[in-house]
Amino acid sequence: MQFEQLKTSTGQTMEGPLLMTPRCFGDDRGWFFESWNRRSFDEAVGETVVFSQDNHSRSIQGVLRGLHYQLAPEPQAKLVRATVGAIYDVAVDIRRGSPTFGSWVGAELSAENKSQLWIPEGFAHGFLTLSSVAEVQYKARGFWNKSCERAIVWNDADLAIAWPIERLEGAEVSLSGKDAEASGFQAAASAGDVFP
């Protein structure tokens, strides 16, 4: 398994999120890869991670889910991968004390590249479905808790996330009602709905 820190749009390395790419062994019969190994994962992230639940979603092209996060007392960390199709996955640093507060990183995750993105607590998360359909599976540390759940609008001007909308082949961005009505980044920060 290869682990890589990602850079923000300004070229700054962001502490926290890690792109994980497995070694895949294949021949004319098919392929095999180790999708997760607790020992190497814990070593890469620098702590022992105990996952609480696994989630699985299916989305059609253009569906954008996010930017979601949970505050204390039930923050969530996620290890995200696409097992069918392709997505553009984004993590936004919402840790007020971080040098990259308000910055984002993104990576394409697909069934083909088999990469995963580790998104620790303190980050908002969202993804855009690039393929005709995508299935996304993720392990979560921390249980879902509606009262802790928050969202930041996907196209916030202050965040200026470079979503690859040109890859949608004419499909429109599709949002849930909750995501369409999410607050902006500055409003969330002013309300204290970020991490210290």
DSSP states of 49-101 as a string?
A: ----EEEEEEEETTBEEEEEEE-TTS--EEEEEEEESEEEEEEEE-BTTSTTT
138 is catalytic: yes
Q: What is the pTM of this model?
A: 0.94
What does residue 75 show for φ and ψ, rounded to 5 degrees? Answer: -70, 155
* Cis omega (within 30 of 0) for bond into 120: no
68 is catalytic: yes
User: In the prediction, which pLDDT does 31 show?
Assistant: 85
- At residue 36, the pLDDT reads 85
Q: pLDDT over 90 for what percent of the chain?
A: 90
Could you say which of 69, 88, 125, 138 is catalytic?
138
Residue 128: its H or E element: strand 123-129
Using alpha carbons, select from 34, 20, 31, 11 the residue that is nearest to residue 120.
Answer: 20
CA distance 94 to 66: 14
Q: Using one digit for the tens of pLDDT, what is the confidence trace for 83-113? A: 999 999 999 999 999 999 999 999 999 999 9
If we measure between CA atoms, which residue out of 103, 106, 100 comes closest to residue 127? Answer: 106
> Residues 68, 69, 88, 125: which is the catalytic one?
68
